[in-house]
Structure formats: structure tokens, C-alpha cells
Structure 1
Amino acid sequence: MSTANHVFAMPRMGSNNQTSNNSKMCSFQMPVHYPRYQKSDYEAMPEWKLDCLLKQYGLPVNGDVNQKRKFAMGAFLWPSQYE
């Protein structure tokens, strides 16, 4: 089994949801592993590490550290783990 990351390219969609011949492609890289942190890990995680984690998954890195923690927990924890 290969553990290489895969890069997926998707066409940018126009206002009418059709691609044109001159449309640019956007891409994202699928991370190899889903983060395996617990709620307590996110609560203690420094801001720089939250920024790296969110950027790795192509998620927004806006707001203060508490907003980033809340967003990361909502994105990566199951509802039963978040409570």
C-alpha cells in the first residue's frame, strides 16, 4: 500500500457552473493521516500548531486562538468527543 499524498486538481467553476477552456485549475493535497487528537490536545495546542494543522487540510486560519481551537475541534472531532 502506498502512503504517498495525492494531489487532486479541480476546475474553477464560472458563474454559470460551467468550465471554460481558459479556466484555471485549483488543487489541494490530501493529507495522508486524519489528525488523531483529543479535545484536551486541541485545548492545549499552541496557536502555531493549530495554524499548521488547519493549513495542512486547506481550512481557514482566521480568528483568534480560541476561535481556531473551536473550529479545529468541530472539524476533526466526532460530536461525542467534542462534548
Structure 2
Amino acid sequence: MSTGTGLSNHAFAMPRLGGHDQTSKNNTTCQFQMPLHYPRYQKRDYQTMPEWKLDCLLKQYGLPVIGDVNQKRKFAMGAFLWPSQYE
């Protein structure tokens, strides 16, 4: 069944009550958890944020946690700041 979004339904599968991951036939996890709040950090916060905190933030939003700390900062700023805040 098509939802009109061009995405398959399993892309947004929510975990069942009880917090266990749902596993598809391919043994890949199909879990999406929307954080309650959009991060409200400013550019200077990302520039001084320790790497462990960047890792936690990116993981919370299901974003890739790869690269060195400068690459993670740049990615987080690009993902969470409006263009006018980024410059």
C-alpha cells in the first residue's frame, strides 16, 4: 500500500510497547524514536561542545556519528541550525 510519500512504511515503524526493537526479516532494526524537543543550541554551543555530547545528540536524532570532532560539529550545525545562524 502506498502512502504517497515515496517511503516504505517500515522506515517509520515505531517500537512496540515495552521498548523492544522490532526486527525485520533481514535482521535489521526498524525503530524510529522522535525526540521530544528540537535542540536549542547556538553556533557557539556546538563549537565548544565536547565530543561525547555531540555523539549523544546525534544518536538521539538517529544521525550518523562518524568522523572526527570537527566533522561532527560541522554536521550538527548543518543539521540543527538555520542558515542564518550557521554563518
> TM-score, length-normalised on structure 2?
0.69
Name stretches of at least 5 consecutive residues in structure 2 with no aligned partner. 1-8, 12-22
Using the alignment, how far apart are the partners of 2:46 and 2:79 within structure 1? Answer: 11
Partner of 1:75: 79
Using the alignment, how far apart are the partners of 2:80 and 2:34 within structure 1? Answer: 15
Divergent runs of 4+, >2 A: none
Q: Percent identity over the alignment?
A: 81
- Equivalence map 1:1-83=2 (5 Å): 10-11=9-10, 24=24, 26-83=30-87
Alpha-carbon distance, 1:76 to partner:
0.0
Q: What is the RMSD of the two structures over their aligned residues, measured on CA atoms?
A: 1.6
The total of aligned residue pairs comes to: 64
Using the alignment, how far apart are the partners of 2:10 and 2:84 within structure 1? Answer: 36
Using the alignment, how far apart are the partners of 1:69 and 1:56 within structure 2? Answer: 15
Alpha-carbon distance, 1:64 to partner:
0.0
Name stretches of at least 5 consecutive residues in structure 1 with no aligned partner. 1-9, 13-22
Residues 16-74 of structure 1, C-alpha deviations (whole Å, 9 max, x = no match): xxxxxxx8161110000000000000000000000000000000000000000000000
Partner of 2:4: none
Using the alignment, how far apart are the partners of 2:81 and 2:30 within structure 1? Answer: 27
Using the alignment, how far apart are the partners of 1:50 and 1:62 within structure 2? Answer: 11
